Chains A and B, each alone.
Chain A
Amino acid sequence: MMTPAQKAPSALSLDAEAAARWGGALRVSPLPPDGLLLTCDPALLPDLCAWLAGERHYRFATLVTEEREEGWRLRTLFWGREPLWVHVLVEMPLQLTSLPSISDAVHAADWHERETEDLFGLTFTGHPRLGDFILHEEWPEGVNPMRWSFNARVPYIAREVDPQWRPVRIVQAPGAFAMPVGPIFSDTAQASHFLLETVGEDVARTIPRLFYKYRGVEKLAEGEEPAKVLLTAERFSGTSAIAHAWAFCQAVERIAGVDIPPRAQLLRALLAEFERFRHHLAALSDIIHSTGMTVASSQADILEEEALRLAGAWAGHRYLYGQVVLGGVARDWTNEEVEVLAGGVERLAGGLGRLSRRLRFSGSFLDRLEQVGLVSERQARHFGLVGPVARASGVPEDSRVDLPYGPYGSPLKTDIAVEEEGDGYARLRVLVAEALATARLIREGAERLPGGPVRVEVPLCSGEALGWCEAPRGVAFHWVRLDEGGRVARYRLTTPSFTNWHGFHLAAERFAFQDFPIIMATFGLSTAEGDR
């Protein structure tokens, strides 16, 4: 006869084991449809999260910090299997401003904690790298823009460059220096700044200094109507508009409890897949351009512009703005029109297939990508990387499969393109495979398009919910809380670029200066999406 202690931990259900481990210190409550809410003291947080991530293999999704009248609420979201979602909620009075850090056990939470420290003024004890993150050294200490008391609507210009500021440098070697890149660099690169610590030739350490484009999207959303916030969700990252609009709509629709008609769901998926297709073409063009192959990058550029024109002709906007609305999609398309899209994408996919076959036999191209910008599977899991970057390092995760939403799972079946090497070439192959799969998905969706309405009314509602979407660069999580008036009280935006920038340095280090732009291109991240 086995005693409970001898049982393997996985044999117990999650709530039972949590209760057995922590007993009364932990309040366990269900979170329908498929979730669990664990409420605990701040002191218990690190152990609990370490157990979830380490033993139960839960993936960190996001950290939602809220300043409520009754106190701080910090909600750490994990996803996994049985149940799908685990929310760890910590409540504490407003006078308390510090709690233990979990990024020791769950390294993916590192930047979330730093962000919370900068924007809310909460300190995470045990975190060695707090401060100087989103708000740069010109921002005064002790002013936290996400607090209720901070007026976000007026320009805040009490800024001065601190002459005492120095970057935290760790490379100790004779002749070591930090090569600055940006914030204004290259021809049309997005604003971002990197300090490359080096002794010449190879990059010993990368210090990304992002958030030059911090527009305070989360703060600006507060007090606005969801319909207006939707415009912001769509426009803060123009190259992944559909994905973020969909994720935001999902959250609001979940709060309202409305069911989206299947035709609208499938049309949203068609738009999202088309956006993914166009994004991957642009990413491919950037990668080829970074290796200096002019003709090849022109070929990709032609495909990209043709995709943009297809979007402009088909939906009226080249970047598909204004298509996804609360309750469905903005307009309906006839089946013939959908056929035009599917046919157009298939034609472009044919061109992409030919281009990628040709690239595969171009030695000078492969030399620049193979064994460059390596990210191992261990590192990718450790930093919680998402999207094509993680999949190229052998992490077979895709929220369309793991966290099915909308029409994914049924009727749309997707499979995950995975590569093991974790180098630039693997990332390129994943991008191409996904773009080609996208064309098949659009064809499949066009054939199975059901009839019915494409939009339902979303009533005024209040509550909180999470929406998510597999954006072209990886999964995005949008946490929305609507107040009694139906306005947005808290909007937490976790984007794939933010998640992946956290691990960008893994790829950029150990390689030569001239590989840096190539590694940046193969990561394909957007600072607009990451900085928010």
Chain B
Amino acid sequence: MSKWIIQGLRTGVKSTRYPRRPEEAAGVTPGLPAAESRWPSPSGAEGAALSCPVGALETSGTRLTADPRRCIHCLRCASGPNPVPWEGGYEWARRTGPADSPLFDRGFDHSLHIRVVDAGACDACLSEIKQLNKPYYNMHRLGLFLTPTPRHADVLLVAGPMTQAMRMPLLKAYEAMPTPRRVMAVGTCALTGCLFGPSFASAGGVGSVLPVDVEVPGCPPPPLAILHGLLLLSSRVKKSDEARETLGEAAP
């Protein structure tokens, strides 16, 4: 037994300093195509937009905009003959409700209990959520806890394209939660259905079943993006739009 204690002590602190300080380690995020880029010609922009298999890139003239809600990090636009510029960063979470209203009435800006529901996720999103509970991200230090029962949960964290078979369990979990309660959709599948929906088997996003308060794009969203979403929920970080403007300083 003692050897484990010694081993644990010798390992030291591995946790990221985020949100106090931006995380600068390599490989913590796949990045996203630049939200907006200028192209020399409209045809060049259109050619770049066509390289996206999920229609996340849109053009208006020489301007190319990227919709993070649709992007699945297939890297195809980045590897073509005219690559679209990519940005790092991970503060991608966005609120869907009115911008100025607090997400929780009061007293919810500290600790949150989270019930994770898998609504057909590919396991990568769940794996990244699990990372939050592990030493490198260690969300306990921020007062964020996973709970096995929705009875104790403040936040329902849903991943996956919302398969039809999981609709009823998800609704039951939502019903079982005490109010005030919030729903957070994690991953491109949960936002738009991505490659899987809407179809006969999935509803194409959590929003068609439950009111979503915070969306975290990404396929899968890196742990720091999910953490950002949770902090946003408890009003502990700035709104994502502002955050995104300061991405240059925040991320490598």
A/B interface sample: 5 pairs, CB < 8 A? A138-B168, A187-B148, A188-B129, A220-B196, A528-B122
Cβ-defined contact, A190 with B118, below 8 A: yes
Q: Give the residue name and chain of the A residue nearest to B25 (CB).
A: A309
Q: Are A213 and B199 in contact (CB under 8 A)?
A: no
Cβ contact within 8 Å between A312 and B196: no
| A84 proximity list for chain B (CB < 8 A) | none
Known contacts A296-B4, A528-B123; is-contact A188 B146 (Cβ 8 Å): yes
Given A183-B166, A312-B222, 4 other A-B residues pairs in contact with their CB atoms under 8 A: A231-B53, A298-B11, A313-B26, A319-B220
Q: Determine if B27 and A321 form an interchain contact, defined as CB atoms under 8 angstroms apart.
A: no
Number of A-B pairs, beta carbon distance below 8 Å: 221
B220 to chain A: which residues have CB within 8 Å? 238, 318-319
Is the beta-carbon distance between B8 and A235 smaller than 8 angstroms? no
Known: A190-B118, A309-B27, A322-B75. A153 touches B131 (CB 8 A): no
Which chain A residues lie closer than 8 Å to B89 at the CB level? none
Residues of A contacting B: mostly: loop
The verdict on B31 contacting chain A, using a C-beta distance below 8 Å, is yes
Q: How far is A228 from B195 in the complex, measured between Cα atoms in Å?
A: 9
A293 within 8 A of B: yes
Interface readout for A338-367 with B: 1 if CB under 8 Å, 0 if not?
000000000000000000001000101000
Chain A 117-138, CB within 8 Å of chain B: the 1/0 string? 0000000000000000000101
Q: A152-B200, A187-B146, A312-B29 are in contact. Are A211 and B165 (CB under 8 A)?
A: yes
* Chain A interface size, under 10 / 10 to 19 / 20 to 34 / 35 or more: 35 or more
Is the beta-carbon distance between B126 and A190 smaller than 8 angstroms?
yes
Contact of A152 among B53, B123, B161, B199 (CB under 8 A): B199
User: Interface of A with B (CB < 8 Å)?
Assistant: 136, 138, 145, 150-157, 159, 161, 183-191, 211-217, 219-220, 227-228, 231-232, 235-239, 241, 282, 285, 293, 295-296, 298-299, 301-302, 304-305, 308-314, 316-319, 321-322, 330-331, 358, 362, 364, 526, 528-529, 531
Q: Is B99's beta carbon under 8 Å from chain A?
A: no
Q: Is the CB of B199 within 8 A of A155?
A: yes
A529 engages B123 (CB within 8 Å): yes
The residue in chain A whose Cβ has the minimal distance to the Cβ of B79 is A330
CA of A189 to CA of B117 in the docked complex: distance in angstroms?
Answer: 8
**Which of B135, B150, B195, B204 touches A232 (beta carbons < 8 Å)?**
B195
What CA separation (Å) do A217 and B75 show in the bound complex?
Answer: 22
B118-155 contact mask (Cβ, 8 Å, vs A): 1 or 0: 11111111111111011111000000001110100000
**Structural contact, B131 and A237, CB atoms closer than 8 A:** no
Bound form: Cα–Cα A391–B113 in Å: 40
Chain B positions 1-56 with a Cβ under 8 Å from a chain A Cβ: 1, 3-5, 7-8, 11, 14, 25-31, 53-54
Within 8 A of A (CB), among B52-103: 53-54, 72-76, 78-79
Indicate if the CB atoms of B201 and A331 lie closer than 8 Å.
no
Residues A301 and B136 in contact in the complex (CB < 8 Å), given A212-B165, A237-B123: yes
A236 and B135 within 8 A (CB): no
Question: Are A213 and B118 in contact, CB atoms less than 8 angstroms apart?
Answer: yes
B180 at the interface (CB under 8 A from A): no
| Contact B8–A213 (Cβ < 8 Å) | no
Residues in chain B near residue A145, CB distance under 8 A? 200-201
A258 to chain B, nearest CB (A): 19
Find the A residue at minimum CB distance from B120.
Answer: A213
Q: Of all chain A residues, which has the CB nearest B187? A: A238
Q: List B contacts of A227 (CB < 8 A).
A: 53
| Contact residues in B for A152 (Cβ distance below 8 Å) | 199-201
Note all chain B residues with C-beta closer than 8 A to A241: 124
Residues of chain B lying within 8 A (CB to CB) of residue A219: 199-201
- Contact in complex: B5, A215 (CB < 8 Å): no
* Chain A CB within 10 A, most for which of B78, B136, B198: B136
A interface footprint on B171-201 (CB within 8 Å = 1, 0 otherwise) = 0010000000000000000000011111111
Residues B124 and A239 in contact, CB atoms below 8 Å apart: yes
Residues of A within 8 A of B120 (CB): 191, 212-215, 528, 531
Give which listed residue, B119, B128, B134, B202, contacts A191 with CB less than 8 A. Answer: B119
- Which residues of the other chain, A, contact B170 by a CB distance below 8 angstroms? 184
- CA A310 to CA B147, docked complex, whole Å: 30
A364 CB, min distance to chain B CBs, angstroms: 8
Bound together, the chains give a CA A161 to CA B164 distance in angstroms of 12
Q: Nearest A residue to B129 by beta-carbon distance?
A: A188
